């Protein structure tokens, strides 16, 4: 009898921990449009899938690309998306039906920096549905990086305590529950059109910081390993893989000229060796595209919505 009671207490304790974890996660986790990306990803089938970083999220407009290619695409890029995240996104997508083509937006900075717990750290993992792929993802990233994020998923968002009540209540908003894209709109940007984030032109100071500038000696083995796992997955599933690099302002290229040229040389040779098509749009003429910092919301390379429209038309022409 005592043994039975002890087991019941243990079960109740862990149920309480799970409930507290869930409430804290709802109250602290910022809203992330990747929730809607996954919703659309699971609901429809797409021939072309874009993966990569925030540069791709802001710069690639699937609706514009599709008008040129005549295909159907979705933008699954995301700020803080490392090669390990991109790999598991495509692996999860293939559980339902494999796309015909994957376009990987390569930001060299993500290949020379370490994954670290932060607001974007678990964005992809938390939104993917439970499956064997998610369990593998959990073991590969969440458990290996920081055990606290595995046991207490709200840990990475602990800085958001002040807005916890407001955030918790917003989870029951009709637009949020119905996966309405407009829920994520703000004065600065809007979300929609196949997963694109459109950055509006507003008069505001531009951040001049450019983090994670490419240095070959700082290349991370983990980034290489998971990109190569992505290559192998695409080969296994018969998916065409294309790699692109989105443009950055001229001012940034000039300031870090050696770094950008070094990255172009490295990846051009690396991808040529793997027989993967690579398009660096810093070196491709785009009619009507403003390459000065005036065409971007910052010095890092996040395009304004009108720039993204122009860029996406050119991207569509190349993909066609």
The pLDDT score that the predictor gives to residue 132 is 94
The pLDDT score that the predictor gives to residue 233 is 97
Q: Are 168 and 35 in contact (CB under 8 A)?
A: no
Per-residue model confidence as pLDDT tens digits over 161-218: 677 788 788 888 899 889 999 999 888 999 987 999 999 998 888 888 888 899 999 9
The pLDDT score that the predictor gives to residue 142 is 81
Per-residue model confidence as pLDDT tens digits over 292-319: 999 999 999 999 999 999 999 999 999 9
Per-residue model confidence as pLDDT tens digits over 61-78: 999 999 999 999 999 999
| Whole-angstrom distance, CA of residue 58 vs CA of residue 312 | 11
Residue 132 contacts by C-beta under 8 Å, 6 or more apart in sequence? none
Q: Does the pLDDT value for residue 229 go beyond 80?
A: yes
The pLDDT score that the predictor gives to residue 22 is 78
Count of CB atoms situated within 10 Å of the CB of 131: 12
């Amino acid at each position: 009898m005592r043994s039975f009671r002890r087991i019941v207490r243990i079960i109740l304790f862990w149920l309480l921990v799970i409930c507290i974890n869930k409430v804290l996660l709802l109250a602290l986790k910022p809203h992330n449009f990747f929730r809607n990306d996954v919703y659309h990803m699971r609901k429809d089938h797409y021939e072309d899938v874009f993966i990569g970083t925030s540069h791709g999220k802001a710069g690639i407009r699937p609706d514009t690309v599709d008008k040129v290619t005549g295909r159907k695409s979705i933008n699954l890029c995301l700020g803080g998306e490392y090669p390990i995240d991109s790999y598991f996104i495509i692996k999860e997508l293939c559980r339902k039906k494999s796309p015909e083509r994957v376009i990987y937006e390569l930001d060299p900075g993500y290949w020379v920096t370490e994954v670290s717990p932060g607001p974007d750290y678990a964005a992809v993992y938390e939104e993917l549905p439970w499956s064997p792929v998610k369990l593998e993802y959990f073991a590969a990233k969440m458990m290996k990086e920081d055990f606290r994020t595995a046991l207490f998923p709200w840990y990475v968002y602990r800085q958001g305590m002040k807005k916890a009540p407001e955030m918790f209540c917003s989870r029951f908003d009709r637009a949020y529950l119905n996966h309405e894209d407009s829920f994520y709109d703000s004065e600065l940007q809007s979300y929609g059109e196949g997963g694109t984030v459109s950055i509006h032109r507003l008069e505001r100071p531009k951040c001049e910081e450019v983090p994670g500038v490419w240095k070959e000696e700082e290349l991370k083995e983990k980034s290489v390993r998971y990109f190569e796992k992505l290559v192998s997955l695409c080969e296994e599933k018969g998916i065409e893989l294309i790699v692109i690099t989105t443009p950055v302002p001229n001012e940034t290229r000039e300031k870090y000229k050696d770094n950008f040229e070094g990255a172009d040389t490295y990846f051009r040779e690396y991808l040529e060796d793997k027989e993967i098509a690579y398009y660096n749009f810093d070196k491709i003429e785009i009619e009507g595209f403003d390459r000065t910092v005036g065409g971007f919301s910052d010095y890092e390379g996040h395009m304004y919505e009108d720039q993204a429209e122009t860029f996406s038309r050119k991207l569509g022409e190349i993909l066609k």
